[in-house]
Structure 1
């Protein structure tokens, strides 16, 4: 991998080589620590309030609080699960099953102190930074079942999904698992986050079924200013997501930030232009959705490609994700409420494959080492297929089991009334 010494791929090996107190021979680097602290806050900012406002504005007014509540509750729950064992299962040695899962030696992080280092940053900072990634991933799936899933079922689903889908895949890629051994390239989560959440969202939408009235009843966003505000927060927060994954305050972080911005801008403009040509007018919803597509697609490549590669990836994201939305919603009439699969899932797949292409030095990237483009794309494809199969299988099993035990959906009458009142006895707006 090419993120200097302390990449996510190498963290497991750092952990295994440390003394019981986890103090390395390295000294604390205050610049790197400050940058990762800042990035941690930015990534959490993406979920609270960025994703929360983005999703809440996209639903109908009677469900605005339900979406905000789901994002907030997921943040709290995953934080506790991360402490209890998720972190350990990803970033410690799993012994005989190390290729597939880590161990529990660091559950509740018993040996973490203020002087415990991972590389040249405090372990507490690395722990918190990685936690924010685990938080936003199940929160992304909320967009697929918005306006119709029971809150209690959503909580149990998110917890089980984090443990059975996110943890293993994250270990495979960033914790020294079998995909890391193959040399997969995923700088900030195209595979770990966007593919897992995206394809799981599609499964959730199919298992739950359509919202009452879809697709004949218009269900436009109830508050576009809220959507744009959340989208802007996502754009800014994504710099922590991608540039923070360098774990250093140096040129690699700067390049990751630059290519992230270029891809977002290219995805936005591409989506806007397609809409303008096809429908006669460019929409605000379209330009912000194109931005998210550009961000999600550049995520796996952000530490490996140059600005020209980012431009190509962003344009590709705008085109492919736009038509993916049309196919999913209009052709197959699948009610993925807020387009999680066509934007995040498809974007993650496309970006992960293109990483193996545009990382090549001949195409302006930082280099593929001693392997060819064809070889690296093959590795990326294996990772994509394995992640899709794992995510689809376990998401389906979890949903079907929960459906039989708890039920997935609110009743038709409750759906018509709105989840804010039915599930939370509150309303987002009052007539004054």
Structure 2
């Protein structure tokens, strides 16, 4: 809905923080496990993952304080996520100082696209992206790929990559070519995702609507199915059988589904 595109804060910040902590922990696991061995490269990957995520979190928080005069827990989590996404392509390929530089970039560039560009570009308000995935994953992911092509350290590359003489742009030699390769790879992924996602959406649209009606979005998709994730005492049920009931195949008689919170016996 329009109001959700304008502002959609999490319904439970404490659960959001718990999830963010689990996400950070798990991210260190799959970045560190990427070499499939407990070696120097995996150790560097875990260290760089934490360095970049922490730096990005701090930079995002600083920007919130500078421009909005107060820190934001939600913003800090967004900065953490952009840092984790950005470091992933080069977690085991860059030095610690480069991880800090990537954290500074991942905490500032996605912040700018989310807080400034998103509010001014007329296209974004028309897109359902309440989690800001475009900024935290698309922008930060492309940024991480390009920065990996810039900062990849030759010795670490030789320990992990099958291609010999790989290096980032700051190390001279063939490093400039690597940046171009990273850019081409990123553009290919963007094009492939656009094509594949479009085909999937077209197929789904032939079977069912891609978007729920506004009245159903207002009460929530869980309530439409007869249940509510957060049915607070005294609020009453949002589900209205005259408006939101799911009809049987003959489109005449509504099916009798259990009310929210009711137990269905099989």
Q: Mark the runs of 5 or more structure 1 residues left unpaired by the alignment.
A: 1-210
Dislocated runs of 4+, deviation >6 Å = none
Do residues 346 (structure 1) and 139 (structure 2) align? yes
Residue 182 of structure 1: aligned partner:
none
Distance in 2, matches of 1:255 and 1:413, equals 51
Determine if contact 1:212/1:415 at 8 Å carries over to the other structure. no
Task: Describe the superposition over 1:259-297 as per-residue Cα deviations: whole angstroms up to 9, x where unpaired.
Answer: 000000011000000010000001000111100000000
Distance in 2, matches of 1:270 and 1:313, equals 11
Deviation, structure 1 residue 403: 1.8
Residue 156 of structure 2: aligned partner:
366
Determine if contact 1:294/1:317 at 8 Å carries over to the other structure. yes
Name which of structure 1's ranges 264-273 and 376-385 shifts more when overlaid on structure 2.
376-385
Give the 3-state SS of the residue equivalent to 1:262 in structure 2: helix
Q: Which has more helix, going by share of residues? A: 1
Task: Describe the superposition over 1:135-188 as per-residue Cα deviations: whole angstroms up to 9, x where unpaired.
Answer: xxxxxxxxxxxxxxxxxxxxxxxxxxxxxxxxxxxxxxxxxxxxxxxxxxxxxx
Deviation, structure 1 residue 214: 4.2
Max radius of gyration: which structure?
A: 2
Determine if contact 2:41/2:156 at 8 Å carries over to the other structure. no
Distance in 1, matches of 2:228 and 2:199, equals 33
Do residues 329 (structure 1) and 118 (structure 2) align? yes
Give the 3-state SS of the residue equivalent to 1:220 in structure 2: coil
Deviation, structure 1 residue 367: 4.4
TM-score with structure 2 length normalisation? 0.77
Name which of structure 1's ranges 404-413 and 375-384 shifts more when overlaid on structure 2.
404-413
Task: Describe the superposition over 1:115-146 as per-residue Cα deviations: whole angstroms up to 9, x where unpaired.
Answer: xxxxxxxxxxxxxxxxxxxxxxxxxxxxxxxx
Residue 237 of structure 2: aligned partner:
none
Provide the alpha-carbon RMSD of the alignment: 1.8
Residue 389 of structure 1: aligned partner:
191
Do residues 425 (structure 1) and 227 (structure 2) align? yes
Distance in 1, matches of 2:195 and 2:226, equals 32
TM-score with structure 1 length normalisation? 0.48
Higher relative contact order (CA 8 A, sep 6+): 1
1:346 to 1:424, Cα distance in 2 relative to 1, 3 A: farther
Distance in 2, matches of 1:384 and 1:420, equals 36
Distance in 2, matches of 1:321 and 1:250, equals 32
Distance in 1, matches of 2:229 and 2:143, equals 39
Residue 213 of structure 1: aligned partner:
3
Q: Mark the runs of 5 or more structure 2 residues left unpaired by the alignment.
A: 159-163, 167-173, 235-266
Deviation, structure 1 residue 412: 1.1
